[in-house]
A and B are shown apart, each in its own frame.
Chain A
Amino acid sequence: MRSEFNPGRISSLRRRTRAIFLWLAGAVVLSACGASTVTVEGSYPSPNIQPLPITLGVYYSDALRNHVYIERTDAGKDEYLVNSGGSHIELFNTVLPAMFRQVIVLNDPALANERGVDAVFIPNIDEFQLGMPQKTRLDAYEVWVKYNMRLTAPDGGYIADWVMTAYGKTGQETFGSAEGGINDAAVAAMRDLASNFSISFTSVPDVRDWLQPRLQ
């Protein structure tokens, strides 16, 4: 095997190395400037409660499905995009079937009568707040969420409309990433919502009044 000196080959190698270097440098600069996206992922246990003898329709609005919270720096730049819509749908799809005899996901609340449901449940996120350790000076990531829950009759008439809040926090780990901390705090908040919602649903005054004749 003989190796020969080839100036053309060396200059092509140099060009390629320079291109790779520039590409890497560009990637580093871009990643330093852009906001990080956190798509919340978690698993939620099914509640151990007696299901209500009701067929519930559930409508997930586009606002819930595509919910993204933007955390900004003090200078007003986007720092983190917290995408929790998908995880919220997963949460409600786990919790609701354990709470009601039957649950039907509706693509349009106007289809409720046609699908023979007793009521339509429409959850929405009103507010989402994030507490970052560098801003709160606490050793924890925190998530607060304010929800608006609506229960309507199949024809769209009012049954109940109430507010629920959820809170979750997770400790800051020495070698943990901020993205991981935000995800864990969001999952804890959603778990808090699931526990509170599944236990307190029948205690909401308007829901209780509506349920009473149906449970007798």
Chain B
Amino acid sequence: MITTQKSMAGLLRAGMYLLVALTAGLSLNACTTTTIDEFRQGDTGINTGESIVILGRRQGAAYETGADFVECVGNRMGRGNGAITVVPEQIFVDALFPWFEPRTAPMRSEDLQQLMAQPLVTDKMTEFGVRYIVWLDGQTETTNRMGSISCAVGPGGGGCFGFGSWEDDSSFEARIWDVSSHTAVGTISADASGQSYVPAVFVPIPLIARVEANACSSLADQLKQFVQGG
């Protein structure tokens, strides 16, 4: 009977630790530094009924621009003040198959002119109302992983001890092409970095730097302004 009471107390303690860890993890975020650079080559503006499409560059052998990052930027641009209609990447790429596949996608804005000479491509672009194509290129790298955490569980409860940390670096570039004039109108780059920490004394407390999320929101806000001519 005493053993049952002891293990119940251990379970309760472990549950409490878990709750504290989760609450702390959700409420604590490590610092992130984000830098946005904009280079404008032409005038921009978007009318009602016009849309944009955001596409990830996937030609490189070393890395691919993540589909989740492309989706994140699109979602953020499509909501809030001055929301812009964003055509989902996969729907656009499938509808314009085979012209926007990794091997066949136009690499320069001059290639867009050649592509738009295809009547079927022009028809689809008109159908979607695409005014701007935004090419996203980049990735998030994790470096400087340090430390270790050990956890143990026994009949009287469990706990962790140790310290872990790592650095995330996001570097993304958005090139904006105007479909109506077949020209590149600008480039926006977003660089974000941050250090994440996980100290553990009985309970691991993750202090996560939301590096990619910050790069996404900063880039999306800047892109929204840029496309609207701001």
B121 CB contacts on chain A under 8 angstroms: 48
B98 on the A face (CB < 8 A) = yes
A194 CB contacts on chain B under 8 angstroms: 97-98
> In the bound complex, do residue A195 and residue B120 qualify as a contact, i.e. CB atoms below 8 Å apart?
no
B108 on the A face (CB < 8 A) = no
CB of B174 to closest CB in A, whole Å? 21
> In the bound complex, do residue B94 and residue A45 qualify as a contact, i.e. CB atoms below 8 Å apart?
yes
Residue-by-residue, is B89-103 near A (CB-CB < 8 Å gives 1, otherwise 0)? 000001111110111
B64 on the A face (CB < 8 A) = yes
A48-B120, A48-B121, A49-B120 known; A199 vs B98 contact (CB < 8 Å): yes
> In the bound complex, do residue B120 and residue A50 qualify as a contact, i.e. CB atoms below 8 Å apart?
yes
Interface residues of B in 68-121 (CB under 8 A from A): 94-99, 101-104, 118-121
B64 CB contacts on chain A under 8 angstroms: 169, 171
> In the bound complex, do residue A192 and residue B102 qualify as a contact, i.e. CB atoms below 8 Å apart?
yes
A47 CB contacts on chain B under 8 angstroms: 97-98
A46 on the B face (CB < 8 A) = yes
A48 to B97, CA, bound (A): 6
A93 on the B face (CB < 8 A) = no
Nearest-CB residue, chain A, relative to B67: A171
A198 to B97, CA, bound (A): 10
CB of A173 to closest CB in B, whole Å? 11
A88 to B130, CA, bound (A): 33
B96 CB contacts on chain A under 8 angstroms: 48
A37 on the B face (CB < 8 A) = no
* Beyond A48-B96, A49-B118, A196-B98, 19 extra complex contacts between A and B, CB < 8 Å: A45-B94, A46-B97, A48-B95, A48-B97, A48-B98, A48-B99, A48-B118, A48-B120, A49-B120, A50-B118, A50-B120, A192-B103, A194-B97, A194-B98, A195-B98, A195-B101, A195-B103, A195-B104, A196-B103
Identify 30 residue pairs between A and B in the complex whose beta-carbon atoms are under 8 Å apart, listed by A's number: A45-B95, A45-B97, A46-B97, A47-B98, A48-B96, A48-B97, A48-B98, A48-B99, A48-B118, A48-B124, A49-B98, A49-B118, A49-B120, A50-B118, A50-B119, A50-B120, A169-B64, A171-B64, A191-B101, A192-B102, A194-B97, A194-B98, A195-B97, A195-B101, A195-B103, A195-B104, A196-B103, A198-B98, A199-B98, A199-B104
